[in-house]
Amino acid sequence: MQQAQHGQIVSFIWRIADDVLRDVFVRGKYRDVILPMTVIRRLDAVLEPTKANVLERRQWAEDNGIRDPDQILKGESGHNFYNTSAFTLKQLLNSPNQLQANFIDYLDGFSPNVIAILEQFEFRNAIPKLAKEDRIGLLIRRFTDPDINLSPYPTSSLPGLDNHAMGTVFEELIRRFNEENNEEAGEHFTPRDVVHLMAELILSPVAGTLTPGLKLIYDGACGTGGMLTVAEERLLQIARNSGKQISVGLYGQEVNGETWAISRADQLIKGEGAENIAHGSTLADDAFPTLEFDFMLSNPPYGKGWKADLDRLGGKEGMKDPRFVIDFDGDPEFSLVTRTSDGQLMFLANKLAKMKTTGQGSRIAEVHNGSSLFTGDAGQGESNIRRWIIESDWLEAIIALPNNMFYNTGIATYIWVISNRKTEQRRGKVQLIDATKRFTPLRKNLGSKNAELGHSNIVSILDEFIRFEETATSKIFPNAAFGYWKVTVDRPLKLRVDIPERNPADRAITGIAPTNGTVPVRIDDTGFAPTNDANTFSPVISTPSSVIPSEVEGSLPDGAPVRVDSMSTLDDAPTNTTFDALAEPVRTAIHAVAADFGTHTIDDWSVFSSTFERIARKQGVRLTATIRKAVQNAIATQDETARPVVKKRIYDVVEYEPDPELRDTEQISLLEPDGIDGFFAREVLPYVPDAWIVPGSEKIGYEVSFTRYFYKPKQLRTLAEIEADIRVLETETEGLLDQILITTAD
């Protein structure tokens, strides 16, 4: 179909919405009538030539007591569907007084598989309102107008509309309706020029080696079915040109009911197994878990959350689906689960699980935005998917498309080409193609789309892909070029101890001194205790008894608060603990350390700590982990000139306490000739000689950076060029100031 004819049909249907539905429905609801009516008229036109035969056969079945004539009526109609109503759409107009009842009878006359499709549109909900406003007849009259032909059969003045062209009409209508409603216009389908390129990328390279037989094509986000239709047509064309006997089975799944209905109706009309177009979530409810496919292509949604699907699959921890948790590189639970905010790579993982492992294997083309190239850290789902693909040597190429190719976004998009049967020259390598400049401008924008891939553009990209040679826009790399080790690098914690001067009010209270020889009194296990003010702390003495004997109470220091409970321990010491907030016996022990060293500043926390422990034990102060942490928070400060804090020492081997604030990571290319240790010795230790790699922190990640390989910095102008521009400006403005001054003086 010519572009002009396509535009005329879309515009005609669009005018129906304005002419018939205005003042009856708000504009956002036009699609609820127009899309199902377009489907109904298409089905009606297809069935019209055999309508009389179907009615006659139905009567015969009733007369002969055949209770389920479904297969008989399908055979009579020549399609996998039929309508047993006494009316066609045009004939409904002959009885205007019974229009609503007859129209409902007409819809009820469709075969069950069509009724299931129409239910997805919820079209019947609109019929009462259409009838009330007397618009049913006008709607039918416009859709059966002889100036528009939605039939596959030509009329005396108009050509027929094949399934490919009909699919394009549906997609353009959806785009316009979504644009009107400020929705994502391109969410459900891909421009046909991009689809043609994708079909060529997976089919043309194997055109000469294609084996006869049944070939299965799959799209896990099939929308209106455009990709399946284009791929099928191209595959059958290759078969005809090569004299091969090939049959095609189309399989798809779509979560949106409206677009699923359009796709399924298309398959019904073609008679190609409409039951293989499944409705539901591909991620959460895979309709084809046991099938493997020869060719797969998709444009999954970008940046669309899939948390509901993940929850249905058991959550991140309970995920057991073999598509997304695999046995790889010695890990039986290698996770491919991505962030829930963007599930586009999960659709690719779904296809990888459906690749054929026999014969010619499988070929995949899938469109992604730029985030799929690099999002996800080493060990995370996105990176793991890239790693699985590349280390399995399945990635043939990634092709950067021109911007503004899609209807709803101008962002950068990329086609991933994958095969588990690479040719010899491609093994162990990946090709990156920069096709961002290969496009044909549109004369009129379609949403965000202002560029398309013309025939010459597609041929040029395909030729560069098949030739597999280095050019300015084609780069070839070994698989490992995209991989890296990520390691965690620590440096020692270095603390300086600053002990405040002793407060004369502090009393030397021993930690476990018996009082009057009766009940032992202990400081709180935390070393500090909250007062009524949650932000302050005070010294505390507590007892393990719920009752304080009077002789003990009388011996307590004046003003010292008493807690009558069992000893308590806080989970964590506040990070803002001050020295004065510590219990008095703890402060006393710390001051004893200062006296022992003869200084209030100590540049070695490990030496201070061991001395403090010794003195505290001697004074009977019980130290818990919480008290130790509180002391560190109160008197220790990070200082690069201090000695490293020793975590533990085994003979001559010392392990230092790492400083969390200095923790860093390094990415080391898998192509690094000296490996991790060599890189670390060359690039890290000369600058931070006390650093070390955290044992067991090594992770492998993969990412692809087109910018790194294809970025061309803008050439700066020379000084001579700049000077020439300045002189031109001087010449142009010569005398201008004098004119301004003269005018002002006047």
How would you label 277-294 residue by residue, b for 16+ Cβ within 10 Å and e otherwise?
bbbebbbeebbbeeebbb
State mean pLDDT over 711-734: 82
Let me know if residue 683 belongs to a domain: no
Reported confidence tier of residue 162, pLDDT bands at 50, 70, 90: confident
The CA distance from 631 to 580, in Å, is: 11
Please state the φ and ψ torsions of residue 727, each to the nearest 5 degrees.
Answer: -65, -35
Q: Which of 185, 194, 250 is nearest to 368 (CA)?
A: 194
Per-residue pLDDT band for 4 (boundaries 50, 70, 90) equals low
Pick from 369, 365, 452, 494: nearest CA to 417: 365
Task: Name the residue among 89, 107, 263, 88 with its Cα closest to residue 174.
Answer: 263
- pTM (two decimals): 0.81
- 344 shares its domain with 397: yes
289: tokens are: 């878990």
Same domain, 470 and 532: no
Evaluate if residue 745 carries a pLDDT over 70. Answer: no
Residue 533 has pLDDT above 60, yes or no: no
* Strands lying side by side in the sheet with 277-279: 277-279, 246-254, 213-219, 295-298, 363-369, 413-419, 395-400, 429-434, 474-478
Last residue of a domain, one of 629, 656, 683: 656
- DSSP codes of every residue in 266-279: HHHHHTS-GGGEEE
The residue among 486, 505, 529 that closes a domain is: 486
Say yes or no: 574 and 532 in one domain: yes
Same domain for 477 and 510, yes or no, is no
Model pLDDT for residues 255-280, shown as the tens digit of each residue: 999 899 999 998 888 877 889 999 99
- 571 CB-contact burial (10 Å; exposed 0-12 / middle 13-18 / buried 19+): exposed
How confident is the model over 583-615, as pLDDT tens digits? 889 999 999 999 989 899 999 999 999 999 999
CA atoms within 13 Å, Cβ hemisphere of 39: 31
Please report whether residue 644 resides in a domain.
yes
> Which of these, 558, 568, 559, lies nearest to 522 by C-alpha position?
568
Beta carbons of 622 and 511 less than 8 angstroms apart = yes
Handedness of CA 560, 565, 569, 574 (dihedral sign): negative
Q: Dihedral (C-alpha) 43, 46, 50, 55: value to the nearest 10 degrees?
A: 10
Q: What angle do CA 283, 277, 280 make, to 5 degrees?
A: 35
Are the CB atoms for 116 and 278 separated by under 8 Å? no
Of 177, 221, 214, 172, nearest in space to 192 by CA: 172
My answer on whether 481 and 503 are in the same domain is: no
pLDDT of residue 556: 38
The answer to the question of residue 36 being in a domain is: yes
In a domain, 169, yes or no: no
Q: Identify whether the C-beta of residue 548 lies closer than 8 Å to the C-beta of residue 517.
A: no
For residues 477, 480, 486, 491, the Cα torsion angle rounded to the nearest 10 degrees is -90
pLDDT for 517: 34
Residues 205 and 150 in one domain: no
Per the DSSP assignment, residues forming a β-bridge with 40 are: none
d(CA 337, CA 26): 41
Distance CA 73, CA 52 (A): 11
Could you tell me if residue 730 is inside a domain? no
CATH number at residue 377: 3.40.50.150
Q: What does the alpha-carbon distance between residue 731 and residue 734 come to, in Å, rounded to a whole number?
A: 5
Q: Same domain for 420 and 324?
A: yes
DSSP notation for 83-139: B-SS--HHHHTT-GGGHHHHHHHHHHTB-HHHHHHHHTTTGGGGHHHHHHTT-HHHH
Q: Is residue 171 part of a domain?
A: no
SS (H, E, C) 341-386: CCCHHHHHHHHHCCECCCCCCCEEEEEEECHHHHCCCCCCHHHHHH
Half-sphere exposure for 740 (CA within 13 Å, toward CB): 5
Segment 178-192, tens digit of pLDDT: 777 665 544 546 888
Let me know if residue 332 belongs to a domain.
Answer: yes
**CA 275, 280, 283, 285 torsion-angle sign:** negative
Residue-wise pLDDT tens digits, 541-584: 333 333 333 333 333 344 333 332 322 233 344 556 788 888 88
Do 418 and 481 belong together in one domain? yes
501 and 471 part of one domain: no
Q: What type of residue is 212?
A: P
Token digits of residue 43 = 């089905």
Please tell me the total count of domains within the chain.
Answer: 3
Percent of the chain scoring above 70 in pLDDT: 87
The predicted model gives 288-301 an average pLDDT of 96
Q: Domain boundary at 656, 686, 708, which?
A: 656
What are the b/e assignments for 459-477, b being 16+ CB within 10 Å? eebbebbeebeeeebbbbe
Strands (E), 662-739: 664-669, 692-693, 699-702
In a domain, 733, yes or no: no
Look-up of token digits 């292509």? 297
Q: 312 and 460 share a domain?
A: yes
CA distances from 445 to 5, 449, 526 (A): 18, 6, 70
pLDDT digits (tens, 9 = 90+) for 619-638: 888 889 999 999 999 999 99
Across the range 344-354, mean pLDDT stands at 97
Do 283 and 427 lie in one domain? The reply is yes
- 473/652 Cα distance (integer angstroms): 57
* Residues spanned by the domain of 141: 3-161
Query: Does position 510 have pLDDT exceeding 80, yes or no?
Result: no
Does one domain contain both 479 and 511?
A: no
Give the tens place of pLDDT for each residue, 403-443.
888 876 778 899 999 999 999 999 999 999 999 999 998 88
User: How confident is the model at residue 3, as a pLDDT?
Assistant: 63
d(CA 307, CA 317): 13
